[in-house]
């Protein structure tokens, strides 16, 4: 047997940044044991707990939750194929019912899929009364989904207090924070306009300006969390949104053979002390090093809330989609599309993130443009290569997308202009929202650049 200690490398958990190739987070044996202990204590595991998992085992939540945690806790686990769940979501809940599962979960989309695909007659045959830890993580958690799932599956004995919102990532082994066992989710309603300006202002839920955010669990003393201004690197005030920085023994040692990226991501230091502490903890968080998560959020009453991402990653159906890969697919899907004139970004539609594409047209194709053919080609290639259906596609005049001085597309500026209606759109399509399909702007269809 090899000589092992806490610092010995256990495995590489691959992840991807918003603008780079996959990176291997170096997870040590000490990282794994520390994170297992955190999950064990938070969930109050016993040997009588039975895990049910459909997540892929190369995913950190699947690997740790379905394989390593049951070994650590001493209880059994039932594992099924992700494909079986996607093809028929009922199978997941049938497994919980059949094997009397106590702990299981997945991204928010999994619960939404069950709501939409499982019939009342099928629900009548389920018994979900044993389900005590219903983990929800890996993508934004929607309060509406929690409420609808609880109402839909109440006849099957599902207890809404079983919901266990969580936050984590590959770089922290898997878990950062997690709600306690049978503790009701913490819901915060804030003003939408203030939130867009990185401020937290509570408002009544009935307010037209309200936005509901689900808490992702309580901070713990030996896993410090700092909310930091990503530009000044100073701690944020209690009512401010900032980047989430994490420390503790669950944080990986860095990226495999990526020295520069390791320094940028894992070795962050806060510039000075806080003008106003975010929360009082039993141990004062160190000033560094911290892991920069790239996620935005705030802390109230020791509860962590996630509000958005600094990264350009688009999360759809629990999967991270990186814009540069989507953009490469789009611009190659039809000869009329101008290379380098494309932007892919996520937009909020009815409380969920959806994919929007804007793409410039080559000047020589403007006079004889066939929008239906072009948009059809984009949809086809996104479906074939990424298994995605976009919510909106807009075709633009040449030179419409905002660029950096070096010629790179500014996705955030492009998204802002799109939402404000400030892009030079020739034709556009939106999923299910426009009865006639393609909307044209004849004024923009000319050969003039």
- Contact criterion met (CB below 8 Å) for 29 and 8: yes
9-309: CATH topology is: Rossmann fold (3.40.50)
Residue 401 CB contacts under 8 Å (≥ 6 apart), including other chains: 341, 342, 343, 358, 360, 409, 410, 414, 423
Region for residue 100 given its phi and psi (left: phi exceeds 0; alpha: psi -120 to 50; beta: otherwise): left
What's the CA gap between 49 and 42, in Å, rounded? 14
Give yes or no for residue 16 having a pLDDT over 60: no
Query: What is residue 438's predicted lDDT score, i.e. its pLDDT?
Result: 62
pLDDT tens digits, 206-232 = 887 788 899 999 998 889 999 999 989
Q: Which of 188, 241, 227 is nearest to 211 (CA)?
A: 188
Of 83 and 446, more confident: 83
pLDDT tens digits, 333-374 = 999 998 878 999 999 888 788 999 999 999 999 988 899 999
pLDDT tens digits, 372-418 = 999 999 999 998 888 888 999 999 999 899 875 445 678 888 999 99
What's the CA gap between 205 and 353, in Å, rounded? 21
Query: What is residue 282's predicted lDDT score, i.e. its pLDDT?
Result: 41
Region of poorest pLDDT, from 77-86, 183-192, 271-280: 271-280
Average of per-residue pLDDT across 77-95: 94
Tell whether pTM > 0.75. no
What residues does each domain of the chain span?
Answer: 9-309, 314-444
- pLDDT interval class at 328 (50, 70, 90): confident
One DSSP character per residue, 286-337 reads PSS-BEEEEEEEEEETTEEEEEEESS--EEETTEEE-HHHHHHHHHTS-TTE
- Contact criterion met (CB below 8 Å) for 106 and 139: no
Average of per-residue pLDDT across 282-292: 71
The three-class DSSP label of residue 407 is coil
DSSP 8-state class, residue 220: B
The three-class DSSP label of residue 281 is coil
Q: How far lies 73's CA from each of 7, 36, 124, 163, 413, in Å?
A: 22, 9, 32, 20, 48
The residues facing 33 across adjacent strands are: none
Q: Specify the CATH class of 314-444 in words.
A: alpha beta
């Amino acid at each position: 047997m090899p000589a092992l200690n806490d610092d010995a490398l256990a495995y590489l958990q691959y992840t991807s940044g918003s603008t780079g190739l996959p990176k291997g987070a170096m997870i040590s044996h000490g990282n794994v044991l520390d994170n297992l202990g955190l999950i064990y204590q938070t969930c109050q595991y016993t040997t009588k707990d039975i895990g049910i998992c459909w997540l892929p085992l190369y995913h950190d939540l699947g690997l740790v939750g379905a394989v390593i945690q049951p070994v650590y806790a001493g209880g059994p686990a039932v594992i099924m194929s992700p494909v079986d769940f996607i093809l028929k979501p009922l199978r997941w809940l049938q497994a919980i019912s059949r094997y009397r599962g106590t702990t299981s979960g997945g991204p928010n989309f999994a619960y939404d899929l069950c709501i939409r695909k499982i019939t009342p007659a099928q629900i009548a045959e389920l018994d979900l009364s044993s389900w005590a830890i219903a983990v929800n993580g890996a993508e934004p958690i929607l309060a509406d989904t929690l409420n609808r799932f609880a109402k839909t599956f109440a006849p099957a004995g599902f207890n809404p207090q079983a919901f266990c919102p969580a936050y984590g990532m590959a770089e922290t082994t898997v878990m950062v924070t997690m709600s306690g066992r049978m503790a009701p989710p913490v819901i915060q309603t804030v003003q939408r306009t203030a939130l867009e300006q990185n401020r937290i202002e509570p408002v009544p839920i009935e307010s037209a300006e309200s936005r509901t955010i689900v808490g992702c669990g309580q901070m713990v003393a030996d896993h410090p969390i700092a909310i930091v201004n990503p530009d000044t690197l100073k701690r944020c005030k209690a009512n401010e949104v900032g980047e989430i920085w994490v420390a503790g023994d669950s944080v990986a040692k860095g990226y495999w053979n990526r020295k520069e990226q390791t320094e940028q991501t894992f070795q962050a230091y806060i510039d000075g002390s806080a003008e106003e502490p975010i929360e009082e903890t039993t141990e004062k968080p160190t000033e560094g090093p911290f892991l920069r998560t790239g996620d935005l959020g705030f802390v109230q009453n020791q509860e962590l809330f996630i509000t958005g991402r600094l990264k350009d990653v688009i999360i759809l159906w629990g999967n991270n989609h990186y814009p540069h890969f989507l953009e490469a697919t789009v611009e190659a899907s039809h000869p009329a599309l101008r290379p380098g004139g494309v932007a892919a970004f996520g937009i909020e539609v009815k409380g969920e993130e959806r994919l929007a594409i804007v793409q410039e047209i080559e000047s020589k194709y403007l006079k004889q443009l066939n929008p239906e053919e072009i948009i059809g080609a984009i949809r086809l290639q996104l479906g074939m290569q990424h298994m995605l259906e976009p919510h909106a596609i807009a075709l633009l005049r040449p030179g419409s997308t905002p660029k950096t001085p070096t010629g790179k597309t500014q996705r955030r500026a492009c998204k802002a202009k799109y939402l404000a209606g400030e892009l030079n759109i020739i034709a556009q399509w939106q999923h299910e929202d426009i009865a006639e399909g393609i909307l044209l702007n004849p004024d923009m269809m000319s050969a003039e650049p």
